[in-house]
Structure 1
Amino acid sequence: MAHLSIFFGVLLFHGVHGLTGKRGIAYNNNNPSGNAVYANLFKGKSKVSWGYDWGYPSWSLDSSFEFVPMLWGLPNGPDADWTAAVQTPGTLNILGFNEPDLTYDASSNILPEKAARGYLTYMQPFAGTVRIGSPSVLWNNVGSSSGGAYDTATWTQYFLGNCTGCHLDFAAIHYYQDCVTPDGQNGAIWFEGNVTNAHDVLGLPIWVTEFECYGSEEQQIAFLDQALPWLDSQDYVERYAYFGAFPDFLINADGTALSDLGDTYAST
């Protein structure tokens, strides 16, 4: 089993196993069917191999995809449902806290020390049986962070410093930025630089579990036309998921088929 062990902030990489293809789907069950109906529109698209929904269960994600459960935030105590999800046959990888480095309402907003204790309690027991991802942080964040005026990289350093003995196989990051920057720069180049920086700083294989560029559908398609081949060519990028399987994003406005953007994501 591949693994990355962390002792006193030192990263030791021992290989990569237990993976299917790179391209995945971020989805939820907030739709009229109350299940993974939008994600399942990608069934049969050979480049799309896995999915996650910021939690568990999978809401009937088609069995052709690998489902990756996530522990979104800190439980209040022992969580039998989380244990059952991780131990479900076919679970190979697990994701941790969602944007704990941020303070807005939809983030898990956890101080690094508490996040580290949570990992030791709820993630570390599964080391060696599944592959474990780091907390999913917004790597392009440069503003105020959870608990103080420090950025994501600093939050992550504090987390690792407190998570002595933690076992991590990969780092999960998010990215949101303009398709074309205000000064006219190519957003795909900016994105590639952020992903490269995360790998350089953390020394871990990278999962980009959320990313999106802000712009028209035409601009987003141009972004993906450049970014997807680059992601596929980087050995250290294990997986990625563009945001997301929702109407007016990768799904058309009616929720009945892939949008033009979704077709680009599925086929480029």
Structure 2
Amino acid sequence: MAILLCLLPFLGLLKLSGAAPTATYSDLEARALSCPASNGAVYSNGGRTYAIECSTDRYGGDMPAPNGQYTGTFEACIESCSTRSGCMLANYVASSTACYLKSVANSKSANSAVWGAVALAGSSSTSTSPKATSRPSSPQVTATPVVAVGKRGLAYNDATLTGLFAGQDSKVSWAYNWDSASYGASSALNYVPLLHDNGASHTSVWNANVGKAISTGSNHAMSFNEPDQCGTNSGGACMQDIKTVVKSYKDWIQPLVNSYPGKLKLGAPAVTNGVLDTSTGSPMGLPWLQQFIGNCTGCQIDFICIHWYDSPSNVAYFKSHVQDAYAAGGNRPVWITEFAPTSGTDAQKQGFLKQVLPWLDSLDYVERYAYQMTAKNVLVSADGTGLTPLGQVYNTI
């Protein structure tokens, strides 16, 4: 017994005879959480207590930026939750070391790539670091510092313009271009690949380009652009038949789960804010999205993507559409990958952004958004050397 007492300071796990096989860890002891070994363990950090759950994801409740950071270890992910006011759950993707903080612990979903730490009742978050101690402890692993990926992003065609969104005051942190290759976008931005449609020119390079994006820090992939939209120069993929899109998703998007286990979250096809294509009789927008989700059985769909265009004065419609999209997507996180007023003066467009940007930033279920678009005479000046007043608002407000 004396030998056992001497060894206790160096043990991260103690099982007592006759007690339930639940591990208990403390931030004052050597920390070595891993799954599945730590499943069901009770872990303390920064004055908070967590229940460890392996192979479990929980949709929704994502906290505002900064979020989705690469913390390096599960312990560091939990610590970031302990120091974040309002955090109730830390989800850690071991293969990529991405850490997602959530304000609520919603219903469980099996996911072998995710490790979770749920704050137990009576455990409150704090903004202070874990208390210091003179007690000997094992060396701690320090996470590699990374740039946080926030909500605000760029939708671009000309990669040279993306470098204009920079500086300490910039709130822009990611970008996409309706393609799967960045073509030289600013390295300061997290690039997200997108498979525009199921044409051979896109699918033939898709897997290779996704691999390149992952190597530069991407941990999301988006599927088809406006498959519900047809028409000349619309930019839509024009894949209105649900069966066709489901098959294409299973052929090109779903396999990424096995190709890059735990490294990617997958987005549903991006839909318009239309309702019905009167020329074809096909549903559009959220009705189309609901049909896709309902028919894509066995598909991993981690977030939904929507587009919105209307008057700058119709802020109420914009807000209600985002809320409706969250419900239509089964309470999955929402990405608004295109949105803009289609009319109005520059002052009215600036006023629109000043109203909706703080609102978007306040919603935990809105993960990312990108104004349409990063182009000259829109967010960028006509000569391409700076930002327009609208671009300055989008970059910093």
Provide the TM-score with structure 1 as the length reference: 0.85
1:137 corresponds in structure 2 to 271
Q: Distance in 1 between matches of 2:192 and 2:327?
A: 25
Give the aligned residue type for 1:161. G
- The reply to whether residue 95 of structure 1 matches residue 228 of structure 2 is no
For residues 125-154 of structure 1, the C-alpha deviation after alignment (integer angstroms, 9 at most, x for no partner) is 11233110100101x213317953423222
For residues 58-77 of structure 1, the C-alpha deviation after alignment (integer angstroms, 9 at most, x for no partner) is 11111110000110001339
More displaced, 214-223 or 141-150?
Answer: 141-150
Q: Tell me if structure 1 keeps the 8 A contact 2:180–2:210.
A: no
- 1:190-209 counterparts in 2 under 5 A? 190-202=317-329, 203-209=331-337
Give the aligned residue type for 1:85. N
SS across alignment from 1:87: helix
Match of 2:161 among 27, 38, 58: 38
Q: Tell me if structure 2 keeps the 8 A contact 1:3–1:16.
A: no
Q: Tell me if structure 1 keeps the 8 A contact 2:221–2:265.
A: yes
- 1:118-129 counterparts in 2 under 5 A? 118-127=248-257, 128-129=262-263
Change (3 A) 1:196 1:146: farther
Q: Distance in 2 between matches of 1:77 and 1:230?
A: 38
SS across alignment from 2:200: coil
2:81 corresponds in structure 1 to none
For residues 69-104 of structure 1, the C-alpha deviation after alignment (integer angstroms, 9 at most, x for no partner) is 110001339945210111120221111100001112
SS across alignment from 1:38: helix
Q: Distance in 2 between matches of 1:42 and 1:195?
A: 25
Change (3 A) 1:242 1:144: same
Q: Distance in 2 between matches of 1:54 and 1:130?
A: 18
1:172 corresponds in structure 2 to 305
Match of 1:253 among 376, 382, 386: 382
2:180 corresponds in structure 1 to 56
2:340 corresponds in structure 1 to 212
2:33 corresponds in structure 1 to none
SS across alignment from 1:122: helix
Change (3 A) 1:129 1:149: same
Q: Tell me if structure 1 keeps the 8 A contact 2:274–2:284.
A: yes
SS across alignment from 2:160: coil
Q: Tell me if structure 1 keeps the 8 A contact 2:153–2:173.
A: yes
Cα displacement (A) at 1:27: 0.2
SS across alignment from 1:137: coil
Q: Distance in 2 between matches of 1:253 and 1:236?
A: 35
2:49 corresponds in structure 1 to none
Q: Tell me if structure 1 keeps the 8 A contact 2:338–2:370.
A: yes
Match of 1:151 among 271, 284, 291: 284
Give the aligned residue type for 2:162. A
Q: Tell me if structure 1 keeps the 8 A contact 2:303–2:332.
A: yes
Q: Tell me if structure 2 keeps the 8 A contact 1:101–1:145.
A: no
Change (3 A) 1:259 1:154: same
More displaced, 69-78 or 159-168?
Answer: 69-78
Q: Tell me if structure 2 keeps the 8 A contact 1:3–1:167.
A: no
1:231 corresponds in structure 2 to 360
Percent of aligned pairs with the same residue?
Answer: 38
Give the aligned residue type for 2:165. F
Cα displacement (A) at 1:46: 3.2
Cα displacement (A) at 1:113: 1.0
Cα displacement (A) at 1:12: 6.8
Q: Which has the higher strand share?
A: 2
Cα displacement (A) at 1:253: 1.7
Cα displacement (A) at 1:161: 2.7
SS across alignment from 1:224: helix
Aligned residues: 249
Q: Tell me if structure 1 keeps the 8 A contact 2:271–2:307.
A: yes
Give the aligned residue type for 1:207. W
More displaced, 147-156 or 44-53?
Answer: 147-156
SS across alignment from 2:374: coil
Q: Tell me if structure 2 keeps the 8 A contact 1:101–1:146.
A: no
Change (3 A) 1:249 1:3: farther
Change (3 A) 1:146 1:137: farther
Give the aligned residue type for 1:243. Q
1:183 corresponds in structure 2 to none
Change (3 A) 1:156 1:207: same
2:86 corresponds in structure 1 to none
